[in-house]
Amino acid sequence: MLRFEPIELDPVARRLRRAADVGDLRRIAKRRLPRGVFDYIDGGAEDEVTLRANTISFRRIGFRPRVLRGVGGVDPSTTLLGEPLSFPLVLAPTGFTRIADPDGELAVARAADRAGLPYTLSTLGTRSIEEVAAVSAGRLWFQCYVWRDRGLVKEMVDRAATAGFETLVLTVDTVVQGRRERDVRHGFTLPPTIGIDTLVDGVLHPSWTWSFVRAEPIKFANVVGKEVGDGSDPISLADYINTQFDPSLSWRDLDWLRGAWSGPIVIKGIQSVDDAKLAAEVGVEAIALSNHGGRQLDGAPAPIDLVAPVADAVGDQLEIICDGGVRRGSDIVKAVSLGARACMAGRAHFYALGAGGERGVDHVLRILDADVRRTMALVGVGTVSELTPDLVALPSRP
């Protein structure tokens, strides 16, 4: 008997129903968002060699599965910095999140809370520390860039502590802005300015344009009213970062930060074993191996390739997060098997937000959660603590 599929009238549900993975969500976001906006999210620095390497390096790692191990009940939960995670993932900070959806950071923070995962708010967020804290009862981390004006940093960090953010993430790979050539070619500014290209793009993407025009203006919500500029006047991100962030930041400043923040500190942007050792020496609780999703130094190593050597060197002194290129739950299983405590992902939830708003983020987190459970079962483990290096096949070791 021929049965017809029920017709889905809700357009978001219709879009998401067939989105099987992050790649599908990326394709939907590409269709829905103006080209300049999509390329701001999708693009990387220069030739995008590192951007591609981040994902390809995961693909080059295989599994060495075990069978008949009684994995009836898989439990992907773990802890990170002493607190629970429903599976080993933290939502990475992304600047200017409202460019994809008017709710922006609020939508992502709510979805992370529902999924039992920490959400990291960017210093360059377009919803403020207080607004995000008001909508989430979950774990919140605050990502901090160091402005030349240290008073401003101290004030933001204090606001984050007061609002209940538990962990401070110091991003150290952005002393100057990487050259994201897609943004240069589009003349992309934050917020987008209305040139002839934007007008054409806007007409071709009416639903994005309609919500962008109706929503309150997008600003760097954490610095509204400050002298450093809150993004109300269109500026390229490169100009903003190169004039506002302090390139003289060094390991000595970690003392200052320790004095300003009493909770755990994560250094995000470690790209070598030597720097991982220095991070252990200064005593931070965790590091995120990261090249900013391939948006900064083109030619930087893929984070997944650093996990095993860094775990060998300092795995007993701090926790390791692998950030960059995560597109599947199996990527998370590989990173944890090699010695990471968890992964961070940025574009996975940003594409999902562009594809289906807050429901899109729920959708991608459900996919990743299910992926992790299924992969664990198929490699033959029931708990995260059983994920060990002998379960993965590195390119050099089949």
**x-or-dash pattern for ligand FMN, window 142-181, by CB under 6 A?**
-x---------------------------x----------
329 binds ligand FMN (CB under 6 A): no
Instruction: Give the pairing of strands 392-393 and 62-63.
Output: antiparallel
350 binds ligand FMN (CB under 6 A): yes
Q: Which is nearer to ligand FMN, 54 or 337 (CB)?
A: 54
Can you tell me which of 41, 117, 160, 365 binds ligand FMN, judged by CB under 6 A?
Answer: 41
* Beta-strand runs (E) in the chain: 62-63, 78-80, 83-85, 89-91, 119-121, 140-144, 167-171, 265-270, 286-290, 319-323, 342-345, 392-393
Can you tell me which of 98, 341, 347, 373 binds ligand FMN, judged by CB under 6 A?
Answer: 347
From the list 186, 205, 292, 363, the catalytic residue is 292
95 binds ligand FMN (CB under 6 A): yes
Can you tell me which of 26, 32, 110, 268 binds ligand FMN, judged by CB under 6 A?
Answer: 268
- Write out the DSSP string of 71-129: -SS-B--EEETTEEESSSEEEPP-TTGGGT-TTTHHHHHHHHHHHT--EEE-TT-SS-H
Can you tell me which of 178, 264, 293, 360 binds ligand FMN, judged by CB under 6 A?
Answer: 293
94 binds ligand FMN (CB under 6 A): yes
**Active-site residue flag, 292:** yes
189 binds ligand FMN (CB under 6 A): no
Decide if 390 contacts 397 (C-beta within 8 A): no
- Write out the DSSP string of 23-87: HHHHHHHHHHS-HHHHHHHH--STT-HHHHHHHHHHHH-EE----SS--SS-B--EEETTEEESS
Residue count, binding to ligand FMN (CB under 6 A): 25
Q: Which stretch binds ligand FMN (CB under 6 A): 88-96, 132-140, 188-196, 366-374?
A: 88-96
**How many Å apart are CA 8 and CA 18, to the nearest integer?**
12
Q: Which stretch binds ligand FMN (CB under 6 A): 25-33, 72-80, 194-202, 289-297?
A: 289-297
Main-chain phi, psi angles of 148, to 5 degrees: -60, -35
Catalytic residues: 292
**Footprint on this chain of ligand FMN (rule: CB under 6 A):** 40-41, 54, 92-95, 122, 124, 143, 171, 268, 290, 292-293, 295, 323-326, 345-348, 350
